Amino acid sequence: MEHNFYKSAKWKHKREIILKRDEYLCQECKRYGKTTQATTVHHIIPLTWCLIYNIALALANINLISLCEKCHNKMHDRDSDKLTSFGLAWVKKMGKIGLDWIEKYSEK
């Protein structure tokens, strides 16, 4: 399901919009004064969840952020595919949407 999403014209167009919005810079690195080129657009609330429960969030600007590969890998535990503390910190930055998601759906 996710694989097809990333091949869609809608995703490719949205990805470019988000990279431009973020000036092609990793937003996690930017927090620490670094200028690192972004190579990935990350779903703050995971895509798998969006595709099952709230498809609109899959393409919502508030749920997307530009990251470099190193920072993107810090957002997920690659063994369990759960968000790490870094990933959850970005969810919290979404405000009410993110906090509600953490409360209702995130595995603590």
Dump pLDDT digits (tens) for 54-72: 999 999 999 999 999 999 9
Give the confidence band of 1 by pLDDT, cuts at 50, 70, 90.
low
| Side chain identity, residue 36 | T
**CA 45 to centroid of chain Cα atoms:** 6
Phi and psi at 45, nearest 5°, equal -85, 125
Q: Is 81 left (phi over 0), alpha (psi -120 to 50) or beta?
A: left
pLDDT tens per residue across span 5-39: 999 999 999 999 999 999 999 999 999 999 999 99
